[in-house]
Amino acid sequence: MGKKLLITGFEPFGRETVNPSWEAVSRLEDRIGDMEITKLRLPVVFGRAAELTLEAARKLQPDFILCVGQAGNRAAVTPEVVAINLRDASMEDNAGNRPEDEPVIPGAPAAYFASIPVRGIVAALKEKEIPAALSYSAGAYVCNDLFYTLRHCYEGTHVRVGFIHVPYLPGQGDGKGPVMELRTMVQALGIAAETLKG
Ligand code: PCA
C-alpha cells in the first residue's frame, strides 16, 4: 500500500542566504515509488519549527517524517542516530532566541534514537557512491529541537521519525570547507526516502 512521507527543510540562517536542506527537499519528486511526498519549509526558530511540522502532520497523517537540515562543517550526508532533550544555542535563531542549557521538553526522557533505518540509509547511499556516514549528534540547536520534539510526540506510534544533515552547497561558508552538489543531495534524499520502509 502507498505510504506518506512528510519531508521538511529549513530556511537560511546565520550568515547564509540559502539553506541546502530546503534547496534539496523542494526539488524532490511528489511521488517516489509508491510513496506520496509532502514538502514543508520551516523557520529556524526553536519550538516553532516543530509546531508547524506537527500541524502539517495532523492534517496529512504521514507514515514517515524526515527532517533535513544544514550542517556546514560536514562532508557527507549524515543521518542522525539520536535526538537529545537539550536546547543550548551558541547563536540566536531567526527570531532572536538563544536558549542555554534548557530542556526541549521538561521532564521528558534525555534522548531518543531515530526510528528510521539510519544504517540502511547510509549503506544505500554508499552503494551509489554518495558520501554518507552516521552522525551521533544533531547538536543542541534548532535541528535537534525539531528532531527531539517529533520523536517524543510519535514515541509509541507507527509514525517513523528521522533527521538527516546535509553539507554546504558550493559557494556557502568561507569557501574552504567541504561542499556537496545540489543534484547529489537531491539524489541522496530520494534514496533515503526509498530506504525508509526498511
Ligand atoms: N541547521 C541548523 C538549524 C537549521 C539548519 O538547517 C541545525 O543544525 O540546528
Tracing cell 540547536 back to the chain, one arrives at 141
Which of 29, 100, 143, 194 is catalytic? The answer is: 143
Selection from 74, 67, 71, 70 nearest residue 115 by Cα: 67
The answer, yes or no, to whether any atom of ligand 1 lies below 6 A from the CB of 139, is: yes
d(Cα 124, Cα 131) in Å, to the nearest integer? 11
Query: By the 8 A CB rule, do 42 and 8 touch?
Result: yes
CB of 122 closer than 8 Å to CB of 79: yes
Q: Is 92 part of the annotated catalytic residue set?
A: no
**Residues forming a β-bridge with 161:** 65
Pocket of ligand 1 contains residue 44 by CB under 6 Å: yes
Does the CB atom of residue 10 touch ligand 1 within 6 A? yes
List the catalytic residue out of 11, 29, 80, 152: 80
Q: Is 44 exposed, middle or buried (0-12, 13-18, 19+ CB in 10 A)?
A: buried
Q: Is residue 143 annotated as a catalytic residue, yes or no?
A: yes
26, 8 in Cβ contact below 8 A? no
- Tell me if 21 CB under 6 Å of ligand 1: yes
Q: What is the pLDDT of residue 187?
A: 98
Q: Is 9 in the pocket of ligand 1 (CB under 6 A)?
A: no
Q: Identify the pLDDT of residue 197.
A: 81
Task: Provide the residue-wise pLDDT of the chain in tens; the chain has 198 residues.
Answer: 789 999 999 999 999 999 999 999 999 999 998 999 999 999 999 999 999 999 999 999 999 999 999 999 999 999 999 999 999 999 999 999 999 999 999 999 999 999 999 999 999 999 999 999 999 999 999 999 999 999 999 999 999 999 999 999 999 999 999 999 999 999 999 999 999 986
Is residue 43 helix, strand or coil? coil
For position 10, what pLDDT does the model report? 98
Q: Is the CB of 168 under 6 A from ligand 1?
A: no
Cut 0.85: pTM above it: yes
Q: Sign of torsion, CA 165 167 171 174?
A: positive
Report the residue among 21, 142, 164 best suited for mutation to probe ligand 1: largest number of ligand atoms under 8 A from its CB.
Answer: 142
Residue 53 is given by DSSP the state H
Q: Distance between CA atoms of 110 and 152, rounded to whole angstroms?
A: 10
Q: How far, in whole angstroms, is CA 106 from its chain's centroid?
A: 22
Catalytic residue among 11, 29, 67, 165: 165
